[in-house]
Structures are given as C-alpha cells and as structure tokens.
Structure 1
Amino acid sequence: MTEFPAIVFTDLDGTLLDHHDYSYSAASPAIKILKSFNIPIILASSKTAAEIAPLRADMGLSAYPAIVENGAGLLHANCIPPTDSGADYRKIRETLNNTPTKLRRYYKGFGDISDAECAALTGLSPDAATRARQRAYSEPGLWSGSETDLHAFLRSLSEHGISARQGGRYLTLSFGKTKADQMATLCQNYGNPPVIALGDAPNDLEMLQAADHPVLILNPDAAPFAIPINLSNRITRSTKSGPAGWNETVLSIVSSLTTQAKGA
C-alpha cells in the first residue's frame, strides 16, 4: 500500500470556498503543495454529489473520494453522479410532509422551492442551483420558527430516525451519518496517515475532533458557536477567512509535518 504523509478532509462553503463568490483561488498555493507531497484532499461538504463532482474535477481531485451531504453519503473516486437511487431523500421528504402542519410550516427545505428560488436563496448560478437540489441522502432548509417549536419539530422527526445538523446557514435533515463517520472509513483505506481537517461550522466539529490537526477557519458571517474543551485546547484557528485562511493554515501545518519528517 502507498504510504501517505498525511490526509486532508475539508469542508467547502466558508472553508475552502469563499462564502460569497464560491471561489477557491486563494487556496491554490496550498492545494499545489499538498499535491506535490502526494497528500490526498477529501472534500467533505453538505453539497450533493452532483455539485461536488464538477468542483472536484476542476480542482484536479477526482482521483479521491468525496464526502457528500454532510456525511450522509459518499461520492467515490473517478465517479460521475448519480450514484444512488435517492431512497433516503424520498423517505425524509415523506416524513417531513407528515409532521404536524403547525411545525412543518416553519421549515422550508430545498424540496419546497424551485431551482430559480434556490438560486436566489443561495447565490448559486441556475445550473448550480439545479445540482444543489439533486439530493440523495439529506434535506437542507431554513427554520423560521421559535426554539420551542424547533425542539418539537426535531422530536417528531427523531421518532422516524431523522436527525438534524446546523451548518453555517442551513438546518440539514438526514438519517444520522456524519462527516466523521465517513472520515474514519476513508482513513483506513489510506492506511491511517495523520489527519488534517478543516471546517468553519458546528456540523464540522465531529470531523475536527477526530483529526490529528484540526483547523477552524474564521467565518465572520457565521454566528458564534461553542467549541468542546477537548478540541479547543488543540485546535488551530485561522486569522483569515475562507480559502485565504485555508491556505495559511495548511501551508503552516504541512511545513511543520515535512520538517518533522526530515528530522526523524
């Protein structure tokens, strides 16, 4: 088996991608360095396989798998979607529509809006918005009700095995698999090298906790959230936001790892 000096798992929106224009150009120097050291870069996002596949190809990362829909599914290496029947998504939508009307009205998921409405809501291009709605495993949406109603809404869904995760913008419903769950499996496939993980939102915390080198990317647009003490004591925080922060922290960590390897 090929030995890898490290492996990178990275969130996209607000982390590797700029939160406003979805560009990763500021992170290009670090991506180039990672490739030169044969360090796999695994994209891990709430995005769908249909969204991630062209982005992964544009970055030159199609040889690596990607974690899609917040860990609810995988896009395999060199694979073109669709790769799943979408049975999980249909069950989520059916359960969602069977929740009490007084609670259901406060949740607007991607399945409740058109491609054009999705483009306006997310800032995505029309084609990208269409891909964002090609879901197989999870349903992102916006909650507009009270905290009390939210707890009741989530209790209702949990009776059917559906859990929710709050990302930087959306409350995403799924059957519970996380980015960290998928990360553990993929690490084994790559021989369990040191793990660098980068994220900016609460739904990245489990992934960061499972990493050897966790990185929290500054996101000035997101609401503050609590960091577990056992993670806060060892996390690296970027001083820049988005891909610029990604670039600075990855370059620093890789420099440290390669220096250690030379001295070993």
Structure 2
Amino acid sequence: MPMDHQLNGDHVSALDIRNLIVFSDLDGTLLDHRNYSHSAAAPALARLRHLEVPLILASSKTAAEITPLRKELGFSDCEAIVENGSGILEAVDEDSDEGDATETSYHAICQALERLPPCLRAQYEGFSDWSAQEVSDLTGLSIADAANARKRRFSEPGLWLGSEADKARFVEAVTAMGLIVQQGGRFLTLSFGGNKSERMMEIAARHSRQGMTPFIVALGDAGNDLAMIEQADLGVIIPNPTHSGIPPCKGEATGRIVRAEAAGPEGWNQVIMSLLDRAENNRS
C-alpha cells in the first residue's frame, strides 16, 4: 500500500504541523545499516528544519557519539535520548559544540560492580575494563568512535565470560543493588533503568504548548524501539534486512502503526515527507 494511503487514518486527520514532534532511532533507521549514511533522508531532514519540527534522536549511542551527529543534522536545539533511554542529552544553542546530559550514574554502576564477590566480578568485562582498541575490535567501530563509545554516563555494556549458573548469581547480585540487566544481541548491559519510551514521553511533555498536546511520531527498526513505537501517536517500523525485524503489532490494524516500504534512511525519508505533506494539507 502506498505510504500516502497508509497515513490517511483518523489519527492523522487533524494533525497540526505546530504540535508535531519526531523521535527516531539511528542505526538501521535514520542511518543506513551498511555505511551509517543519512544522505537518503536529506530532503525530509531539510524540510523538518525548515518547518521547525523537533527531531529527537533516540539511540543506544552515548552522548559523545550523538553530539556531533546531532549538530551535523542541524538539530542541536533538540534533546536526544542516549544509551537506550538510560539518559537524556540536553539541547544546546546552535553555535555550541556540546550539550549537558542529565546527571551521570555511570560511576555508581562501576562502584556496584566492584562490590561484587571477586569470583563474579572476574567473569564480567565491560567498557570500563577495555581500551578503545579492545572496544573497536569487539564492535567494528573506528578507534575514534570506540573512544566516544567508552565515554559512558548511564549504562555499562559488557560480556559475561562464565557459566549460566554463575550468570544467574551475577544478575541476582546486581539486581539487589538496584541495577537493571538487559541482554542485547551482543552485550549484557547494566543501568539504573529508563528506556526510550519513558524518555520520549518525558521530552514530549516538555514540548507541550498551552492548549496543544504534541503529536508524537516514533520511528525504529528493532525490538528495543517497539515500546517507543507503540506509545507514539503514530509509530513507524523501518524494515532492516540484517535482522528479523519487528513482528506484527496490534496498532497496524488501525493504521496507528505503519511500515515503511524501503529500508533505512530511504524509507525514513518517504514516511516523513508523506507525513509532512499531510500536515501541511491540513493547515491549508
């Protein structure tokens, strides 16, 4: 079904460009999964900037990784969700190079790890234990990008090196210290909580105007984006040929969740351009 037809439901019939806010995952969504380029989304990005529609980046990347990308895209005046929702990178003025993130909890995570019994601590290795070269070897990032990935503020990804029985003991021990444990595709990540969906609603509330509730659009390609997509007024699933993707969702039956026709930034561009067409038609 053509994308413009998918966006004809009642949920977008009264969309006002003045209360639109867009939240987007990065890798595999706004950024091409092969080369991390966003060039295919250039028309939609330019149009969002022209219409002054906020674009909130939401990623597993750190603040140090997102800051230069956000500036390159032209949305430094918008907050960003970092480390899979463990924290928020605040907005900055156009001429600034770096924004402040909400208060860091990373030191407390590392302290909690050091309070573990040595037999358990020795079986978990995280970013704080590795050099930039080791992170690069594990992830495929360049040395410079790996160094930025190590500048963590809210979460500690790592590898479990021991048995499943000891892993269960490890999880029980860190959970008792208030940490949340999430197993991703590669890393076992520790944090004090927070996810993309919770941060999305927190930021959207900041953008509320008197008498106008933000219309939230959320785009993503993977399971860790699903809660954000389901919580939004319009959720957009971007296909990603590198993994199995997001299974069918209830919201698809009503049109509240749609699937882009193309992968990565090409599909992202198609959806945003169609949505902006609809919003501007509503205004005229």
Same fold (TM over 0.5): yes
73, 92, 99: which one aligns with 2:87: 73
Letter of the 1:184 partner, please give it.
Answer: M
1:159 corresponds to which of 163, 172, 176 = 176
Q: 1:205 to 1:102 in 2, by over 3 A?
A: farther
Instruction: Report the equivalent of 2:151.
Output: 134
Q: Structure 1 residues 145, 241: CA separation in 2 closer, same or farther (over 3 Å shift)?
A: farther
Structure 2 gaps, min length 5: 1-16
Compute the TM-score of the two structures, normalised by the length of structure 2.
0.79
Distance 1:109 1:225, change over 3 A: farther
Structure 1 residue 56 corresponds to structure 2 residue 66: no
Distance 1:59 1:250 in 2: 15
Is the aligned partner of 1:260 residue 2:282?
Answer: yes
* 2:134 aligned residue: 117
* Bigger Cα Rg: 2
Q: Which residue matches 2:223?
A: 202
Which SS does the other structure have where 2:262 is aligned? strand
- Say if 2:90 and 2:100, in contact at 8 Å, map to a contact too: no
**Matching residue within 32, 39, 47 for 1:18:** 32
How far did 1:174 drift? 1.0
1:173 CA displacement? 1.9
- List per-residue Cα deviations over 1:133-172 (Å, max 9, x = no partner): 0011111234567777655543332212211345565443
Q: Label 1:60 to 1:224 Cα distance change in 2 as closer, same or farther (>3 A).
A: closer
Shift of 1:30: 1.3
Amino acid in structure 1 at the alignment position of 2:204: C
Deviates more, 1:95-104 or 1:205-214: 95-104
Change (3 A) 1:242 1:144: farther
Matched, 1:186 2:203: yes
SS at structure 2 position matched to 1:43: strand
Match of 2:260 in 1: 238
Tell me which of 47, 50, 53 is aligned to 1:36: 50
Query: 2:241 matched to which residue of 1?
Result: 220
Residues 225, 7 of structure 1: alpha-carbon distance in 2 compared, 3 angstrom cutoff:
closer
Distance change in 2, residues 1:150/1:230 (3 Å)? farther
Distance 1:172 1:238, change over 3 A: farther
8 A contact 2:221–2:245 mirrored in 1: no
Listed as ranges, the gaps of 5+ residues in structure 1 are none
Identical amino acids, percent of aligned pairs: 45
The TM-score, its normalising length taken from structure 1, stands at 0.84
Distance 1:142 1:19 in 2: 23
